[in-house]
Chains A and B, each alone.
Chain A
Amino acid sequence: MSSRLELKTISHRYSDANEDVLKDISLTVEASQSVALLGVSGSGKSTLLRVAAGLEDPAAGQVLVDGEDLAGTPPDRRGIALVFQNPLLFPHLNVVDNVAFSARMAGFSRRRARRQALEYLDLVQLEDFAHRHPWQLSGGQEQRVSLARALARQPRLLLLDEPFSSLDSRLREDMYNLVSLIREHLEPTIVMVTHDRREASVLADSIAVLDTGRILQHGSVPQLHYRPDSLAVSRILGGLNEIPGDVTGGIHSSALGRVKVQDTVDDGAAFLVIRQETVNLVSAGTGVVDGSIASIKSMGAHTLATLIIDNGSTAKPAVRISAEVVGAPDLSIGDHIGVDFEESAAWAVNN
């Protein structure tokens, strides 16, 4: 049940809007791969799913599944199942009949449709809830049923539109495990929309970052985190460090001094983006640069410390660098301390 999805130069505009919500988007998802569309709300990511599902006709561009152009194919003939943020279980049907819906629509007998539905309920570990009504389920159970219902359609492509965003963090972890289990068993091609970079990293093989209707970058999870194409991608992936400076011949000069960065960056103004997770705190004078601690924030098992760099530079505003370190180091605001990072962690972007 897995196919290759190819979106080619898709543009779209809603009739009541004065700007395109999707601008010339191209994206390929190989069979059995899972791609996350990551972006803030309003970035067009849900619209892209609706276009793929056939619920929205794009103003321009093509949706190809296994090379077949789906223009003019109605949503019910596409073999693409969409799971919404809201589970949308049909309230007039019980759980098993919700899951049996697609088989019934395809003309199978109630008996056969239910038998098949029970297999999928078993997969999401809700076979005991088959005869309950949707309103008797918890939010997490509803979303499981919704997932089972979509899978029972045996779709070529599974689209997930922020399906776990309304669940609490523990249920969300359960759902992540469930999705992994489903990927193991059924190997579906998945395109999921999320605004949660952690969710995207956990569930997807690759991430496409969307911003105001464009794909800024599509790449593997580590690539997006450690080698972003732009400041915008770095920010969307949660990168905190943006040290202004200039690049000449692969060397970035800034308040941090001269740091070797990738060769591919253009000469001229550039920001050094070093993931806060790769920055270490060391004794003053032993690292790349020294600074004084401006803020300390607990991240649970980690601590985020932000330093104001003091190397005699009078740059305004003061240059800051953040380090996310394991545990709760014994630090206070104003402490003078050094920061260090591996040369390989340094990465520069021109904009």
Chain B
Amino acid sequence: MPGGGAGRVLIGLLLVLWFTLPMVPVALWAVAGRWHAPAILPQTYSWEGWSAAASSGLFPALLASALLGAGVAVLATPLGFLAAVSIRRLPRRYARPVEGILLAPLAIPPFALVMGMNVVLLRAHVPAAGGVLLLLVVTALPYTVFMFRSALAGYDDRFEEAARSLGASKAQSIRHVRLPLLTAATSRAAFLAFLVGWGDYIVTLIVGGGQLRTLPMTLASAASATGNEQLTAVLSLTVVLPPLALLTALLLTRRHGRIR
């Protein structure tokens, strides 16, 4: 790493700025009353953005997004695990193409995928919410597969063999060795899958056909109108903050190893 310790700190700080700076005006707008150019800071502060958000369906939208994110996570995480396990067990020449297919959604522009699938889903009479969930699970799969692939690559089956030779039954070795060792990968995979559902706009818009009022949908309609800066800022924050809180919680809960 060039620059040694000091250089590393500097680059770290610049990166933090890079991520946080765009959020500063959003955070200010969320509590601004009146803020006209060329003032650097808002001239007055108020909570009217928040009450506007509450009355324009913030809470149902939060709930819808959370449910969608959770649904995607609940489906894509075990599927990703099973896929990663299968790829690992396949002979190499079959594993490669299967892995390629599973990662393919990353390479296809979401818009193309959605437009194509929309027609299929409509013809198959799949309900809008089900269609959205299905497509988002497919979109999330590359992330969960990748997470488990890398976790399993570092996972040594001999941990379980060592456990067996130390007197653990098959079930005990799964419960006390395999599951704890894969906890971190599982929570990371579930988090990424949750984000796919939580932040989605295109699939919800096109396949959902306006029936699903999620947070990004509410945010988009607020942002497309003018004079809604406070509302838009509040909605933006509610999109950004919950995943950040979740990520922080994930990072903080270092699981303490104990045999229950």
Listed in ascending order, the chain A residues whose CB lies under 8 Å from chain B are 53-55, 74-76, 78, 80-82, 84, 86, 88, 90-94, 97, 100-102, 104-106, 110, 133, 149-150, 153, 159
Contacts and interface: CB of A to CB of B under 8 A. Distances in A.
Interface stretch (B93-101, B133-141, B173-181): B173-181
B168 interface: yes
A86 B165 contact: no
Given A84-B158, A93-B259, A76 B177 contact: no
20 contacts: A53-B165, A54-B164, A55-B161, A55-B165, A75-B161, A76-B170, A81-B165, A82-B162, A90-B159, A90-B163, A90-B181, A92-B257, A93-B257, A97-B258, A101-B163, A101-B168, A102-B167, A104-B259, A133-B257, A150-B165
Contacts of B167: 76, 102, 105-106, 153
Interface string B141-162: 0000000000000001011011
Contact of A105 (B176, B181, B183): B176
B56 interface: no
A47 to B, nearest CB: 13
Interface in B88-109: none
A76 B164 contact: yes
B164 A75 contact: yes
A91 B255 CA distance: 11
A49 to B, nearest CB: 10
Contact of B162 (A74, A84, A94, A104): A84
A106 B168 CA distance: 8
A26 to B, nearest CB: 23
Given A55-B161, A76-B166, A82-B162, 14 more contacts: A55-B164, A75-B164, A76-B168, A86-B156, A88-B159, A88-B162, A90-B159, A90-B181, A91-B257, A94-B257, A101-B163, A105-B166, A105-B168, A105-B169
Contacts of B181: 90-92
B172 interface: yes
A84 to B, nearest CB: 6
A110 B161 CA distance: 22
A138 B46 CA distance: 58
Nearest to B258: A97
A97 B165 CA distance: 16
A209 B149 CA distance: 39
A96 to B, nearest CB: 11
Counting chain B CB atoms within 10 Å of each CB, the highest count among A101, A106, A110 belongs to: A101
Contacts of B170: 74, 76
Contacts of B162: 82, 84, 88
A53 B166 CA distance: 10
A66 to B, nearest CB: 18
A207 B177 CA distance: 35
A101 B166 CA distance: 7
Contacts of B258: 93, 97
A90 B255 CA distance: 14
B180 A82 contact: no
A74 B169 contact: yes
A102 B257 contact: no
Interface string B187-224: 00000000000000000000000000000000000000
Contacts of B183: 92
Nearest to B177: A90
A88 B259 contact: no
Nearest to A91: B181
Contacts of A74: 164, 169-170
Contact of A101 (B161, B169, B255, B259): B259
A104 to B, nearest CB: 5
A74 B167 CA distance: 9
